[in-house]
A and B are shown apart, each in its own frame.
Chain A
Amino acid sequence: MAEQDVVFRVTRYRPVPGGRPTFQDYRLPFRNDMVVLDGLNYIKDHLDPTLTFRWSCRMGICGSCGANINGQPSLTCETFIRDVSRGVVTVEPLSNFPILKDLVVDFDDFLNKLASVKPYIVRKDWGDWTKEYTQYPEDLEAYRQQSLCINCMLCYAACPVVGTSPEFIGPAASALALRYIRDSRDEGADARLARLNTKNGVWECTFVGECSVVCPKDVDPAAAIQTLKVLATMRHLRRLLMPASR
């Protein structure tokens, strides 16, 4: 027995025949502990099986379910309807990405950007494979925050620069680059900073800061990018003034 109803205004887009995205309204029963994802699943199960969206873990850790909810990039599995509804909840695909179908966007571009920052430990000598490298709790703390990125793309949706400059490396890829640079076991800072110290590297960022506002895991990519600007500059100056150290 529904206490009351809520209306979901959801973007619909069919790749065949194409055309332009439109909105479709759905009225559904509302329970106080429902998240937006519960609403989307209700629509798909009971009202319109053609509604298409990504989801999996429903606990905010897999990063599949990003969408613009009332204009704000959010995870549908973590956004409670009671917090965003004034009778109508607008659900659109994440900004700044091409739309594949309904709420599903294409973010293959991000995976290329991620690969370009070498998101793995780079070392010349791997040493002993029978004993762990020593890493103190404070060393772990140095990169722990950036390691929490779930690749949900909310930061890319929030960043106005990504919208106008699609080649901008973006918040998440930068945060993950910093995660490896700051990992005491890694030796690959030089190659990563070379990649980041380019026009479509970190320098496209004008510090709007919205990426850190929308990040569901408090990765703070905005601060990461500014730190990378400092590191990239120092590396550049070192190479300029002390060519022997290259």
Chain B
Amino acid sequence: MARHEYPWKRRPGWWLRNPRYLAFQLREAGGVVCALYGLLLLNLLMQLREGESTYVAFLTMLRTPPVLYLNGVLFGLVLWHAISWFMLIGKAQPVQLTRKPLPWKAVFGINVVLWLGVSGAVVYLIFGGI
């Protein structure tokens, strides 16, 4: 007698039915957004090379409300990507100074402090000036 197994089929929207799956998908999407933002910055440099008028036109376009709102959303995704990866680093790369590796919460905390520190330095460089 042949076996009639029913192959498992994934239901569309599977990642909406579980908050942790959703968090994962957003984290991964955040990674894509980071890459795209890098391309945008590259494009900004290219616009700068084209000349002042094209550069200024590009910046004006970036300041329009739809683009600003979009940037807000994308910034949120990038933030979530960074925070969720900081939460995983403790497990992905265990730092073992004593018998047991450092608990992930400690690694998370250290990374957040470093991140805020570096971000603060960058903000100071751009707006505070040297």
Contact = CB atoms under 8 A, between A and B. Distances in A.
Nearest to B14: A160
Interface in B82-118: 88, 91-94, 99
A207 B84 CA distance: 11
Interface size, B (range): 20 to 34
Interface size, A (range): 20 to 34
A138 B100 CA distance: 10
A167 interface: no
Interface in A123-139: 138
A97 B6 CA distance: 9
Given A207-B92, A227-B94, A100 B3 contact: yes
Q: Per DSSP, are chain B's interface residues mostly helix, strand or loop, or mixed?
A: loop
A21 B4 CA distance: 12
Given A207-B88, A209-B24, A222-B91, A71 B17 contact: yes
Nearest to B7: A98
Contacts of B10: 163-164
Interface in A1-56: 13, 15-18, 20-21
Contacts of A97: 8
Contacts of B8: 95-99, 163
A187 interface: no
Contacts of B17: 71
19 contacts: A13-B6, A15-B3, A15-B5, A18-B6, A95-B8, A97-B8, A98-B5, A98-B6, A98-B7, A99-B8, A160-B14, A163-B8, A209-B24, A209-B88, A210-B18, A210-B24, A222-B91, A226-B92, A230-B94
Given A209-B88, A227-B94, 6 more contacts: A13-B6, A160-B14, A163-B10, A222-B91, A223-B91, A226-B88
